[in-house]
Amino acid sequence: MKKWGILIVALFMVTSVLAACGQNKNNGGNNPPAVENQETSQGGAAAKKLTIGVSADFPPYEFHIKNDAGEDEIVGFDIDIAKEIAKDLGAELVVKDMLFDSLLNELESGRVDLVISGLSPKPERAEQIDMSQIYYKAEQAVVSRTADKDKYATMESLEGLKIGVQKSSIQEDIAKTVSGAKLTSLGKINDIIMQLKSNRVDVAIIEGPVAESFVKNVEGITITDAKPVTEEEGYVVGVKKGSKEMLDQVNATLDRLIKDGSIDKFVTEATALAEK
């Protein structure tokens, strides 16, 4: 019995020594574990990288080009604005391209720091994310095949039609108000245009400057005289809920860009680039 007691005590002492050694090795004694420096930040001006989420099929806001080096590059006036925000934060800009309807989830999860992608300030979005001031306003447009343009002079003329829209967009909300309309909601504008060209939808509702860009670059489609009306024609930057410091910085940058005319300049340059 004594032998068993001595053995148990010895084992307990060895275990205690090993545990202490392990603690010293991992924590430096009583110090807490070191926290790794984060590459991105939801609210800190000291962020090393600023990651933004976009849906880069939305010229002139954001779209793909081949640059002078023959490499794929995402450009557009939203990207120009994001560069200015990153510069004011002292951060490197990282652009992530994804489906429009996944942007807010990516922001909520912290996988991106900001969303800037022709994002309208819908009330339900304010429950999910924080939003900047409006930095740009644009009208909506109804696009049809050129041969059908005269059929669609009013929004009432769209009743009962098959309408193509971008999923989770303000244009989808507009289409839902059209009596009897059958919606085809897709993630990419390019796919909506293909549906229109192949007669799978009758018309598409698209943001005005984006519609103009596609009409200039895609044969056989045109903007009709039908005029969608919405109270949410402005666009904002999305920020993770509760990130006040980041939101304040974004608004400060937007204030500067609006007052000095930079946003109008960015729009003009991006529109010209999209038309090439």
CATH of the domain at 193: 3.40.190.10
The yes-or-no verdict on residue 4 having pLDDT over 50 is: no
The yes-or-no verdict on residue 194 having pLDDT over 60 is: yes
Write the pLDDT tens digit of every residue in 78-116.
999 999 999 999 999 999 999 999 999 999 999 999 999
Say if residues 43 and 243 touch (Cβ distance below 8 Å).
yes
The yes-or-no verdict on residue 10 having pLDDT over 80 is: no
Write the pLDDT tens digit of every residue in 198-245.
999 999 999 899 999 999 999 999 999 999 988 766 899 999 999 999
- For all residues of the chain together, what is the average pLDDT? 85
Residue 171 sits in the same domain as residue 245: no
Q: Confidence class of residue 64 from pLDDT cuts 50, 70 and 90?
A: very high
Residue 131 sits in the same domain as residue 250: yes
Residue 250 sits in the same domain as residue 216: no
Listed range (15-24, 53-62, 145-154, 226-235) with the worst mean pLDDT: 15-24
Of residues 72 and 14, more confidence is placed in 72
Q: Report the number of distinct structural domains present in the chain.
A: 2
Residue 62 sits in the same domain as residue 181: no
Residue 131 sits in the same domain as residue 144: no
The yes-or-no verdict on residue 8 having pLDDT over 70 is: no
Q: Long-range contacts made by residues 186-192, C-beta under 8 angstroms, separation at least 24? A: 187/55, 187/99, 187/100, 187/101, 188/55, 188/57, 188/99, 189/57, 189/58, 189/214, 190/57, 192/164, 192/165, 192/166
Domain region containing 90: 49-137+233-274
Residue 129 sits in the same domain as residue 242: yes
Residue 243 sits in the same domain as residue 263: yes
Q: Confidence class of residue 172 from pLDDT cuts 50, 70 and 90?
A: very high
Residue 15 domain flag: no
Residue 133 sits in the same domain as residue 149: no
What mean pLDDT is predicted for residues 178-195?
Answer: 96
Q: Confidence class of residue 48 from pLDDT cuts 50, 70 and 90?
A: confident
In terms of C-beta density within 10 A (0-12 exposed, 13-18 middle, 19 or more buried), how is residue 194 classed? middle
The yes-or-no verdict on residue 44 having pLDDT over 70 is: no
Q: Confidence class of residue 138 from pLDDT cuts 50, 70 and 90?
A: confident
